[in-house]
């Protein structure tokens, strides 16, 4: 889908469908008024007849005649209630309606959808992200008769002339974020017999070929063993697919500028290992690499925009499988940091692969390190499917991520890392255990990771509740690419 900005009023550009807004009690916004005038008052007549009241999320499609094209009116609800949250819902309703239609082009009266407290740039970004999300399809493994691609190809965003520059900038940024989200979704939705550690390494190499300023390094199982990355190797030992550590270095800033480093958990399938998971919904454990998928998405979006900063994306990838070589409960492993870990549960494997990666990234002398992982089911118990859990050793970094999440609607919430929680990780036989029991499971997982991040500013994003949807809408969401990209845009 191609996005562009126009300073023409919504009734002027040629398009298959034109979209504008109506507030509660049938009050047309300026874009809807312009459309109505161009259509000789037919929209006002329909509103007067009660075809639409303007309630939040309501929609009215009016077929076009000749060159007029169809008109789509979207309800905003009461003006006093129209805030950023309501605007996101209106943009999602608009996006859903547009991608359902057979039109190949559309123009949107952006000014109609600006909520209180926000500007045109925010609204453009929200609209483009909503349209990209609604238009996403994953058909790679379906027969041709089951694929129904979205026909909408071109979307023009109509804004006042004075807002054109801000709108164009926001449009470019949002389009790149959509590209990154789609990459993350594609990787998450790909089945585990196709998406595995080696294939993720191949994807990283292809990205380096596609984009300037991007360089990829891949460490295989032999190099990991020589390095002493015992935690990554321990997790992957039970699989026929050997683990990989993948580093994608984007150099858009000055040579000496410290990079922001993202570290993604890339467990391409998680059986739980010897601590085997129940069979129900185990198919969804292909999504245990969504942290890694989001790192790929961020790197691609950064490359698309050519941001003037240095960013490193590190993916630590393995398959957690049970066989005669698999790590057992009771085993003690040596991590790259030199610390030892007693394995009490092999299903707490994500923190192990992250531990070695978080040690490895010290070589970059980073400005900040942010790891992203579908780490704990406890996160879903704490926050449900609304937000990610945020923890870290630098409150300013965590707060910036939280603010980026609020700005994009890709929200996170900070949990504490009080020293008292570290007591739960005590082991009689090793430096630490890999689990701390049922209480505060998300927090003790963060405590475990914190023992490998003492030499730099670090934040942890647990996306177990937001990385994918179950049920009829099963699929990867592309989160938290919007949050992470907004953080980088704020930095840049």
Task: Supply the residues annotated as catalytic.
Answer: 277, 351
User: CA–CA separation, 175 vs 299, rounded Å?
Assistant: 14
Burial 193-230 (b: 16+ CB within 10 A, else e): eebbbbbbbebbeebbeebebbebbbbebeebeebebb
Going by C-alpha positions, the residue among 70, 6, 76, 5 that lies closest to residue 38 is 70
Ramachandran category for residue 475: left, alpha or beta (phi over 0 → left; psi -120 to 50 → alpha): left
User: CA–CA separation, 133 vs 185, rounded Å?
Assistant: 10
Residues in a beta bridge with 275: none
Sequence-ordered alpha helix ranges (H) in 283-376 = 290-305, 350-360
User: CA–CA separation, 372 vs 392, rounded Å?
Assistant: 12
Radius of gyration of the chain, Cα coordinates, nearest whole angstrom: 24
Sequence-ordered alpha helix ranges (H) in 329-477 = 350-360, 377-383, 395-408, 441-450
- HSE of 350, CA atoms in CB hemisphere, 13 A: 31
Please, are residues 246 and 232 in contact by the beta-carbon 8 Å criterion? Answer: no
CA distances from 415 to 388, 394, 399, 448 (A): 10, 12, 11, 14
User: CA–CA separation, 371 vs 73, rounded Å?
Assistant: 42
Cis peptide bond upstream of 480, omega within 30: yes
CA distances from 331 to 226, 231, 444 (A): 21, 11, 20
Residues in a beta bridge with 157: 5, 108
Q: How far apart are the first and last CA of the chain?
A: 26
Please, are residues 405 and 387 in contact by the beta-carbon 8 Å criterion? Answer: yes
Burial 155-186 (b: 16+ CB within 10 A, else e): bbbbbeeebeebbbebbbbbbbbbbbbbbbbb
Going by C-alpha positions, the residue among 321, 319, 314 that lies closest to residue 336 is 314
């Amino acid at each position: 889908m191609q996005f562009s900005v126009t300073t023409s009023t919504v009734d002027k550009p040629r398009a298959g469908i034109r979209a504008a807004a109506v507030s509660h009690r049938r009050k047309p916004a300026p874009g809807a008024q312009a459309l109505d005038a161009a259509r000789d008052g037919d929209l006002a007549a329909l509103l007067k007849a009660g075809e639409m009241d303007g309630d939040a999320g309501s929609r009215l499609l009016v077929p076009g005649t000749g060159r007029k094209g169809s008109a789509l009116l979207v309800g905003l609800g009461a003006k006093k209630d129209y805030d950023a949250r309501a605007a996101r819902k209106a943009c999602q309703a608009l996006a859903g309606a547009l991608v359902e239609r057979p039109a190949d082009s559309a123009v949107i009266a952006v000014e109609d959808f600006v909520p209180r407290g926000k500007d045109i740039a925010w609204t453009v970004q929200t609209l483009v992200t909503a349209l990209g999300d609604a238009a996403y399809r994953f058909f790679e493994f379906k027969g041709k008769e089951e694929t129904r691609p979205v026909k909408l190809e071109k979307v023009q965003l109509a804004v006042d002339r004075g807002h054109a520059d801000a709108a164009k900038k926001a449009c470019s940024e949002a389009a790149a974020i959509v590209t990154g989200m789609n990459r993350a979704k594609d990787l998450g939705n790909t089945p585990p017999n196709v998406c595995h550690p080696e294939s993720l390494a191949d994807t990283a190499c292809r990205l380096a070929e596609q984009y300037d300023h991007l360089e990829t390094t891949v460490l295989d199982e032999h190099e990991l063993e020589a390095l002493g990355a015992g935690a990554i190797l321990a997790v992957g030992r039970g699989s026929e697919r050997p683990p990989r550590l993948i580093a994608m270095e984007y150099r858009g800033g000055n040579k000496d500028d410290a990079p922001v480093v993202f570290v993604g958990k890339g467990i391409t399938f998680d059986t739980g290992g010897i601590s085997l998971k129940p069979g129900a919904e185990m198919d969804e454990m292909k999504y245990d690499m969504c942290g890694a998928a989001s790192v790929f998405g961020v790197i691609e979006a950064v490359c698309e925009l050519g941001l003037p900063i240095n960013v490193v994306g590190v993916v630590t990838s393995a398959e957690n499988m049970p066989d005669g070589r698999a790590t057992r409960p009771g085993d003690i492993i040596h991590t790259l940091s030199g610390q030892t870990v007693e394995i009490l549960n092999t299903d707490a494997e994500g923190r192990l692969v992250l531990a070695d990666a978080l040690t490895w990234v010290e070589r970059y002398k980073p400005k900040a390190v942010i790891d992203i992982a579908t780490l704990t089911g406890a996160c879903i118990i704490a926050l449900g499917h609304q937000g990610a859990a945020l923890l870290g050793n630098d409150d300013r970094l965590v707060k910036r991520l939280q603010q980026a999440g609020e700005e994009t609607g890709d929200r996170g919430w900070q949990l504490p890392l009080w020293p008292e929680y570290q007591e739960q990780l005590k082991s009689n036989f090793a430096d630490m255990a890999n689990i701390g029991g049922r209480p505060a499971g998300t927090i003790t997982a963060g405590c475990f990771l914190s023992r490998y991040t003492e030499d730099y500013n670090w934040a942890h994003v647990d996306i177990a509740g937001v990385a994918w949807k179950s049920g009829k809408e099963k699929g990867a969401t592309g989160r938290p690419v919007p949050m992470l990209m907004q953080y980088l845009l704020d930095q840049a």
